[in-house]
Structure formats: structure tokens, C-alpha cells
Amino acid sequence: EKKIVIVGAGEAGTRAAIELREQGWEGELTLVGDEPLHPYERPPLSKQQLSEEELPLPATILNAERMKELAIDFAAGDAAVRINREHKRVVLASGKELAYGKLLLATGSNPRMLAVPGDASGEMLYLRKHADAIAIRDCLRPGSRLAVIGGGFIGLEVAAGAIRRGCEATLIEVGPRILMRGVPEPIAAAVEARHREAGVRFHVGVGIASANRADGGYAIELADGTTVRADVIVAGIGAIPETALAEASGLAIENGIRVNERLQTSDPDIYAIGDCCSFPHPLFGGRRIRLESWRNAQDQGTHVATGLLGASEPYRSLPWFWSDQYELTLQVAGLSDPSDRIVLRDLGETGRIYFHLAGDGRLVCASGIGPSDGAIAREMKLAERLTERQPVIPAEELADPSRKL
């Protein structure tokens, strides 16, 4: 019983391991990771790792020394391939078997693959792991032409990085606008305008008819008859939760590994956290959601440690996401719905905050954009605190920048 095994040595799993020790767990603790590196941060992969002139080292979350100090057994470069729930054992690809009292799944997510007619599909690049960032970076030579498929955060950050490295960039988005998920239209418009100013070309609201090798590079034919030429194609069209291990062991799946408000799967001795799980959120009427966000991975890692040690508080942190593009930073705190009323708080040079009010007037989300070296982060911290309480505040008060948040 005195054994905890964590599968997935990413943001969530590693945070949970650290927290278990910080909260006094003295039993055996094993962290299983299928990547060869020590746990590292993913957000820099689409930012500094692409844009900086000198390749930065991976941003390690937990190095060998600290791992030793915390007495965490790290099975690196080994994948968990089977869970024997009856005998409470995890089988690794190396053949090793680990007994557990409690098991935590933090297997993350994988890029959604794009299939289009033509021989270029198999040669498109995706970004999830450190090795992917290196492969993309190698293609971003000054003057080379990058085509990004997908106008989500990762695709946009890759485009910004490519521009900084002296490449040409074209972004193709099939939806009616970029950043369709969770970002209000005016922020998406501001982000697109900044990219255009930097030289990125956009094809929005148009699908891809085919992508083929041509003249030593690629030719992407769009549904409207345009041809986009590129030397490298990066597809960023969303992520799929990694549930194979959970599914094969009969755990309930619903847009990821299904967990309850305490992050417990359908087997009470197995928990799941981070990108791989969906959970009911008490702040949003128990709506089941799955988040792909750094803060959520961290917060669930911290929270689940308490649960693994016997507490039974529901997880209720406000969803929070950020992205950096050029000199701009944008943040979203809360969950929005297309039917929300949107109220602008114009902070001048500091930036803008958009408050999202639900039908009953409750403040359910705040999204902000502004220069990263300005005061937008501080303002958004206050907006986040406010949103956590979901108050009903008259729109004119929220909009008035002379009233303190």
C-alpha cells in the first residue's frame, strides 16, 4: 500500500510527485516517463526554443539532483504499457513491473494529425515534445518559407517565432477566424493584426484541397484555388488526450479519462490529471471540461497529491491560459460561451480586458491582451480574482478604468 506510481513525467505528473514529498509522503514514489529527458516545461517549445538565436536548454522542471533529494525513482525513457488492476501492478515496456497502492495517470495529449490528399501529409511537422521543437527549429532558416496549418495558439506562436528568425510565414485556418476556442473576437482580431504587421500572410475561412511535394518544397492547394508554396509545413490543429493505457484497462473515458471532482477515475485507486482527463467543474455548474493548459496541469498536480493522501476536497481552480506572441501577452481566466455579453475595459497603453457576462449577469471569464512588459499581467491577476467569485457587477463599472478592480 505504501507505493505510489505516477505514469507521465510531464507538467502534471512531476508537479504531483514534488507535492507528494512536500506534503510528507514517505512511501515509495515512482515517476514513469516515456521521454528520455528529465521533466521539462512545454510552453517554451513554441516560444523561446524557436525564436531565440541561440538554442536554449530545455527548461527542466526537476533535475537529477533534486529527483534524488526527493527520493523519486525515475523510470526515464520507459512507457507504461499495461495496468493490471486486479493485482495493482503497472507493466512497463522494458518488462519491469511496478506494484502500486495508488496510481496516478498524467499521460498528457498528442497532436491531432491532419490528413489531406497529396504526398505531403506524412511530411508535415507537429509540436508537442522537445524533439519536435528541435526539428522545427532546424527548418527555420532565414528566408525559408513556413506554412502553418491551424490558427490556434501553437500555430500562431510558431509563426511569430519563424518571423523572428527571418522566415516568411503563411497561416491557413479553415474556421471563420483564428483563435475560435475560448478567445473573444476582438482579441483574435488584434492578434491577427499584429501578425499581419509582422508580415504573416493569412488565409482564413478556407480549407485545404491538397498538399504535395513540389520544386524541393511543398505546394498547398486551397479550396479557393490559391496555391501556398512552402519549404516546411507545421500543422497545429488541436490535441487529442492520451488515453490508450486507461482505455485498455477498462477505465471510463469521456473526452479523456473520466474523473470525478476529486480527480479519481472509475477505479477509486487510480487518479488522472492534466491534459489527459475530463472533470466536472463546480464553478461552471458541474460542466465536464478538459483543459490543455499549463496552470491546470500544475494546479491539478498539487490538488491530486492531497487526494492521494486521503483528503476529499473537490478541484475548483479557475481555468487560466496564457500565450506570448511578439511583444504581446494574452491571458484568459475562466470559461466563456459564445452567448456571453462582452464588456470592454480599455486600459490604454496597458492593454484591454474583455469581461464575459453570462445570461444571468455573472462574471464568468476575463480575457486580456497587452504588451508583456506592461501592467496587463497585474490587471489580469485582479480580474482573475474577481472572476473566481463570479460576482454580478454592473457593466458600466467593469468598463470604467478609473474604478479599481
Which residues lie closer than 8 Å to 142 by C-beta, 6 or more apart? 165, 166, 167
Closest separation between CB of residue 49 and ligand FAD, Å? 8
Given the complex with ligand FAD, which of 31 and 228 has the nearer CB atom? Answer: 31
**Residue 44 DSSP class:** G
Q: Which of 30, 51, 323, 331 binds ligand FAD (CB under 6 A)?
A: 323
Q: Which of 4, 5, 8, 340 binds ligand FAD (CB under 6 A)?
A: 8
Closest separation between CB of residue 31 and ligand FAD, Å? 9
Closest separation between CB of residue 43 and ligand FAD, Å? 4
Distance CA 224, CA 210 (A): 12
C-alpha cell at 177: 477566424
Angle CA(102)–CA(106)–CA(110) in degrees, nearest 5? 155
Which helix (H) or strand (E) segment holds residue 384: the answer is helix 376-388
Q: Which residue is nearest to ligand FAD (CB)?
A: 10
Q: Which amino acid is at 33?
A: G
Closest separation between CB of residue 108 and ligand FAD, Å? 3
Given the complex with ligand FAD, which of 7 and 200 has the nearer CB atom? Answer: 7
305 forms beta bridges with none
Among 2-10, 169-177, 325-333, 388-396, the segment contacting ligand FAD (CB under 6 A): 2-10
Closest separation between CB of residue 205 and ligand FAD, Å? 25
Distance CA 320, CA 272 (A): 19
Assess contact for 211 and 233: CB atoms under 8 A: yes
Which residues lie closer than 8 Å to 71 by C-beta, 6 or more apart? 21, 29
Distance CA 385, CA 401 (A): 17
Distance CA 141, CA 139 (A): 6
For the chain, give the number of residues: 405
Q: Which of 4, 5, 6, 13 binds ligand FAD (CB under 6 A)?
A: 13
Residue 326, interface with ligand FAD (CB under 6 A)?
no
Closest separation between CB of residue 348 and ligand FAD, Å? 25
Closest separation between CB of residue 107 and ligand FAD, Å? 4
Among 32-40, 169-177, 258-266, 357-365, the segment contacting ligand FAD (CB under 6 A): 32-40
Which contacts of 289-292 are long-range, i.e. CB under 8 A and separated by 24 or more positions?
289/319, 289/335, 290/241, 290/255, 290/256, 291/319, 291/321, 292/109, 292/239
Give the footprint of ligand FAD on residues 216-245 (CB under 6 A): 242, 245
Residue 108, interface with ligand FAD (CB under 6 A)?
yes
Residue 336, interface with ligand FAD (CB under 6 A)?
no
Among 22-30, 202-210, 287-295, 335-343, the segment contacting ligand FAD (CB under 6 A): 287-295
Give the footprint of ligand FAD on residues 80-99 (CB under 6 A): 80
Cell numbers 523519486 correspond to 72
Distance CA 36, CA 225 (A): 44
Closest separation between CB of residue 295 and ligand FAD, Å? 6
Given the complex with ligand FAD, which of 228 and 330 has the nearer CB atom? Answer: 330
**Nearest one of 124, 125, 154 to 293, comparing CA atoms:** 154
Distance CA 395, CA 357 (A): 9
Residue 322, interface with ligand FAD (CB under 6 A)?
yes
Closest separation between CB of residue 75 and ligand FAD, Å? 8
Q: Which of 35, 221, 267, 269 binds ligand FAD (CB under 6 A)?
A: 35
Binding site for ligand FAD (CB under 6 A): 7-13, 32-35, 42-43, 45-46, 79-80, 106-108, 127-128, 154, 242, 245, 274-276, 292-295, 297, 321-323
